[in-house]
Amino acid sequence: MEYSAGRRICNGLHDAKPVFLMALTQSVYAGVNVLYKLAINDGMNLMILIAFRFLFASLFMLPLAFFLERKKRPKMTWSILFYGFFCGLFG
């Protein structure tokens, strides 16, 4: 009896992972928005804040993409470059 109850709790927690991760994501977004508001109210230029945001995001994502997606990347062809350019332009 004890084993099945523990198994049900474990399965329930496993099923609730997406809910917990979504709540964590929303909490992080709220914290980032509060920090942005504090930085802007303190006198930081908005363009510099946006540049730092993109810089830190790139520095975080590039190593992840390079090491985790190393074997899955397609060859860079002109059509892929063309699609990427237009996605960035209109996206």
Tokens of 15: 């099923």
What single letter denotes the amino acid at residue 35? L
Q: Which pLDDT does position 1 carry in this prediction?
A: 47
Report pLDDT digits (tens) over 5-63.
677 777 777 788 999 999 999 999 999 999 999 999 999 999 999 999 999 999 999 99
Among residues 80, 62, 70, the alpha carbon closest in space to that of 88 is found at 80
**pTM listed for this prediction:** 0.57
Q: Which of 15-19, 28-32, 74-78, 87-91 is the most confident on average?
A: 28-32
